[in-house]
Structure 1
Amino acid sequence: MAWEHPEGAEVSNRLGSGIVIVIAGLGLGLAALLITARHGVTEWPFVAAFGLLIAIGEMVQFKVDRSRNRAPIATSAALGYAMLRGPSLDIAPDVAQVIAVTSVATMIGMCPRAIAGLRWDIVVSNRRVLSVACAAVVFSAVVPRDLGWNGSWRHAIPLVGAMLLGVLTAGLVDALVGAGQATELFNKPFPASLRDELLVMGQIGMAMGLSGVLLAAGTSLLGLWAPPLVIVPLLLTQFAFRRFASAQRTYRTTVRSMARSTEIAGFSSPGQNARTASLAVAIGNDLGLTPARMEALEYAALLSGVGQLALADPSPGGASLLRTREERQRAAEIGASVIERSGVLDRVAEIVRHSNDPYRQGRASNSDIPLESGIVNVALAYEQLVGEGTGQSSDKALESIGLGIGAEYDPVVVESLRRVVGRGFRF
């Protein structure tokens, strides 16, 4: 139950939980391809142009955060193709042809990534096929086939409205499917998973949807001269998102390097910080924390032992619980001060500062203390009780932690720990 899996394992895990999505997407694509082959393909130049855009977009997809891959160009091109209506086309593509082109082009775009060993996710790709199919169905149901762009506002308004409705449908379908998948993968409450998916949709999905509308409107009016004009701004937007994602990866690498310093110095056992962070993230998922809070929680758990470097001697086996209350709180304060000097991890520093506060003297009477501090406190205690070399069973560890409910440990967090362990969490 780690927050981030190795790439190969991640694909495997997603296949295990998203097999229905893959079967539905591939089945729908195959059915649409057979229907299209039977009735014949219309407007081959548009099929080739949009199919190429979808395939290229799939090849240059990138990771929005640590658990989501997105292909903005592929999504915008697929939505744009689904909503073509206008004077540049003799016959608008029907729903089956839209699904067939999207499905085939997506599979073609995935092949180079798979061959090159780059990160790819067949579940996310099939989610796109399903969401675009829903958008195409809604758009076709709302807009008559003979309605197109002719310079009249009377026609333009319902067309734009239908396009926006199609984009919204695609976004909501993808968010619902993604939320269900996240709930299954990370044991996160469905409302919290849906909130996270809608947040991502608002951040990048809006840009993809509006680009799809512009692509459809421009191509319907100007023909194949329009796609380059729309795709270039989207490429710049994707470049900006990739730079942001790169900066996030740099932060993560820095945090992991700082966390390893306590292991190298002997103040924590090998892998102790990573195990604590893994459990803290599992509890955070169970409690439905937002992505931003989850990231701060993981960083805080990784860095929770940094302040121990200021102590005179390491704890035996990295067991900081063997130290006095004063030593642990002083180490937490020192660690928070060190983290604050980074200038970008103030939230993490605040979590670490209170990570050794007893619940009764801390969060129980001061709601300003982050819940994440209580999560780190419980995760660290459980890791030191059942981690490598301790030999204590999970039942014994839960019993020991349970004795401190309401005094040392936050009851809400301890109950979450029991649920997480009960679902089979293992370090």
Structure 2
Amino acid sequence: MTALRPIHACAALTAAACLAVTLWTGLRDARVALAFGVLIAVGELTRWSGPRVRQAAPLGTAGSLSYALLGADAGRPAGHGAAQVVTVVLAASLLGGVPHIWCGRTPTLDHLARRVLTVGFAAVCFQPLRHQHAFADGSGPAHALLLVVLLLLTALCDALLAAALGHARTGWPFGALLRDELRGLRGIGSAVCATGAVMALGVAVAGLWALPVFCLPLLLAQLSVRRYAAVRATYRQTIASLARATEIAGYTPAGHARRVAALSLAVGRDLGLTRPELAVLEYAALMHDIGQLSLLDPVPAGATAALPVPEQRRIALLGGAVVRQTGVAAAVAVVVERQADPCAEQPLAARIVRAVNAFEEKSRDAGPDGPLRALEELRLATAGDYAPEVVESLARVLARGSLTLPTAG
């Protein structure tokens, strides 16, 4: 949590200073400020806070960047400065975020801090430059090139802030979070940046009527992203339902697959896996025991870690065959198949599933000291059965104590 206070304090000081300057100098180009304020507020109202949402308010973000990079209005030089940009963006974001703040849906302070600092960075970099002779008319190739460069720098600034805030709140590795944020720029992040630049250029030439015209494609993109997120959520629910087949049939204890998946995800994040890799890891962890459905006699308590290695491999191969027939990604089937292979030959995801599954089986119903004894058993077996880096990562995750595992019910 150490980075949260400095970032929030910096954002608060920036917002307070900009508000003071704006109140002292007065609001300039009120019509333009009102138009962009309404756009940003509407963008905040239409944001959503589903799981794994990277850009919750693309329209609000694009409008904020566009106002920060606005050099002219229908050929007339814009009169606002960087302080007014931050003030208008903050006021509009707060107004549009009232329903979300009221319902407590999102980490509002983090969202506002990122918005204030990234928009402030873009405005401070651009507003002094727009008075230079090469950019004074608000259009032309030099102006467009300047916008592209500033948008790239602003996107990098936002990615750094997002990774720092994520690291402070979760303890996950900063490098992995930053890679995920930068990778996300290739998706809707690039659409947001492009829309912000195009709106600024459009308003400079055609006036404020350009705003609704250039907002429409981003609104459609936002709708498509929402539908894609809904499909992904349904896909995960389907996999979770398949994973419960072993519990319903009595082969594994209730909640075992969910607990292994939750703990595997925490270990994967600690080891710096990317989001696509974490998705494969989660699906494989949910379905790691599905091969037991092919057994005539259930394994006692579903504890495959105590079985002979040949039997473990047979169950793993049967599980991989079942996964392939369900239509799940082949990468998931590979992890399921190889979870019982020699440790040195396994992919990292298979090493994680194997160690976490063994820990869950050994610590389950073992009393208050069960997790400690199970972890010690895993450490003693790192010479051949379990990867040392995975076991140590598991120890770090357990030591943090921030993980809430699903219950047996």
Contact 2:69 2:147 in 1 (8 A): yes
What is the Cα deviation at residue 342 of structure 1? 2.8
- The 2-side partners of 1:389 and 1:402 are apart by 18
Matched, 1:179 2:156: no
Contact 1:92 1:145 in 2 (8 A): no
- The 2-side partners of 1:380 and 1:139 are apart by 53
In structure 2, the residue matched to 1:289 is 273
What is the Cα deviation at residue 75 of structure 1? 0.7
What is the Cα deviation at residue 295 of structure 1? 0.8
Matched, 1:81 2:58: no
In structure 2, the residue matched to 1:412 is 389
Matched, 1:275 2:259: yes
In structure 2, do the counterparts of structure 1 residues 272 and 67 end up closer, same or farther at CA, with 3 Å as the change threshold? farther
Structure 1 segment 149-228 matched on structure 2, within 5 A: 150=137, 156-228=140-212
**Residues 298-345 of structure 1: per-residue CA shift (max 9 Å, x gap):** 111111111112223333333222333333222222221222123242
In structure 1, the residue matched to 2:56 is 70
Q: Which runs of 5+ in 2 are unaligned?
A: none
Contact 1:63 1:69 in 2 (8 A): no
What is the Cα deviation at residue 261 of structure 1? 2.2
In structure 1, the residue matched to 2:80 is 93
Contact 2:49 2:105 in 1 (8 A): no
- The 2-side partners of 1:20 and 1:128 are apart by 15
User: 2:326 is paired with a residue of what secondary structure?
Assistant: coil
Matched, 1:354 2:338: yes
In structure 2, the residue matched to 1:136 is 123
TM-score by length of 2: 0.90
Question: Quick one: which amino acid aligns to residue 43 of structure 1?
Answer: D
Question: Quick one: which amino acid aligns to residue 376 of structure 1?
Answer: V
Higher mean alpha-carbon deviation, 127-136 vs 30-39, is at 30-39
Contact 2:70 2:78 in 1 (8 A): no
In structure 2, the residue matched to 1:316 is 300
- The 1-side partners of 2:222 and 2:73 are apart by 31
- The 2-side partners of 1:66 and 1:87 are apart by 37
2:24 equivalent among 38, 48, 66: 38
Question: Quick one: which amino acid aligns to residue 141 of structure 2?
Answer: I
User: 1:28 is paired with a residue of what secondary structure?
Assistant: helix
- The 1-side partners of 2:3 and 2:280 are apart by 27
Matched, 1:107 2:94: yes
1:124 equivalent among 103, 111, 115: 111
In structure 1, the residue matched to 2:249 is 265
- The 2-side partners of 1:381 and 1:292 are apart by 24
**Residues 241-267 of structure 1: per-residue CA shift (max 9 Å, x gap):** 112111111111112212222222222
In structure 2, the residue matched to 1:372 is 349
User: 2:131 is paired with a residue of what secondary structure?
Assistant: coil
User: 2:203 is paired with a residue of what secondary structure?
Assistant: helix
User: 2:208 is paired with a residue of what secondary structure?
Assistant: helix
- The 2-side partners of 1:150 and 1:68 are apart by 35
Residue identity (%):
36
In structure 2, the residue matched to 1:12 is none
What is the Cα deviation at residue 118 of structure 1? 4.8
- The 2-side partners of 1:193 and 1:120 are apart by 17
Higher mean alpha-carbon deviation, 204-213 vs 63-72, is at 63-72
User: 1:406 is paired with a residue of what secondary structure?
Assistant: coil
Question: Quick one: which amino acid aligns to residue 201 of structure 1?
Answer: L
In structure 2, do the counterparts of structure 1 residues 163 and 234 end up closer, same or farther at CA, with 3 Å as the change threshold? same
1:248 equivalent among 228, 232, 247: 232
TM-score by length of 1: 0.87
Contact 1:286 1:420 in 2 (8 A): yes
What is the Cα deviation at residue 111 of structure 1? 0.9
- The 1-side partners of 2:50 and 2:185 are apart by 11
In structure 2, do the counterparts of structure 1 residues 79 and 400 end up closer, same or farther at CA, with 3 Å as the change threshold? same
In structure 2, the residue matched to 1:60 is 46
What is the Cα deviation at residue 229 of structure 1? 1.3
Contact 1:219 1:227 in 2 (8 A): yes
**Residues 180-218 of structure 1: per-residue CA shift (max 9 Å, x gap):** 122233333222221111111232221111111110010
Contact 2:291 2:316 in 1 (8 A): yes
In structure 2, do the counterparts of structure 1 residues 260 and 94 end up closer, same or farther at CA, with 3 Å as the change threshold? same
Contact 2:36 2:67 in 1 (8 A): yes
In structure 2, do the counterparts of structure 1 residues 150 and 174 end up closer, same or farther at CA, with 3 Å as the change threshold? closer
- The 2-side partners of 1:202 and 1:396 are apart by 45
What is the Cα deviation at residue 294 of structure 1? 0.6
Indicate the RMSD between aligned Cα atoms, in angstroms: 2.4
What is the Cα deviation at residue 124 of structure 1? 2.2
